[in-house]
């Protein structure tokens, strides 16, 4: 959610905290927040999935007709 605008030139900092890991260890959920010099400006949840790079690239190349 966006809570407040930040004026040009004001410093902004971000925080991310890992809040959960899925049972298989691949799904990660983070609580995220953004602050400027006057206080909070935004917050939310961010989800990521850990992938095997070689397997992913191999599948992508095959799909693109390059494999």
pLDDT tens digits, residue range 29-61? 999 999 999 999 999 999 999 999 999 899 888
| pTM of structure | 0.75
Q: Where are the domains of the chain?
A: 12-63
Nearest to 33 by CA among 42, 24, 21: 42
pLDDT band at 62 (very low <50, low <70, confident <90, very high): confident
In a 3-state reduction of DSSP, which class is residue 54?
helix
As a residue count, the chain comes to 67
Note the helical H segments in the chain: 53-63
| pLDDT tens digit sequence for 10-26 | 999 999 999 999 999 99
Mode of pairing for the β-strands spanning 12-21 and 39-49: unpaired
């Amino acid at each position: 959610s966006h809570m407040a605008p930040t004026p040009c030139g004001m410093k902004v900092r971000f925080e991310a905290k890992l809040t959960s890991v899925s049972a298989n260890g691949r799904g990660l959920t983070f609580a995220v927040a953004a602050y400027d010099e006057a206080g909070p400006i935004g917050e939310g949840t961010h989800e990521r999935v850990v992938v095997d790079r070689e397997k992913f690239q191999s599948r992508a190349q095959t799909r693109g007709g390059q494999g």
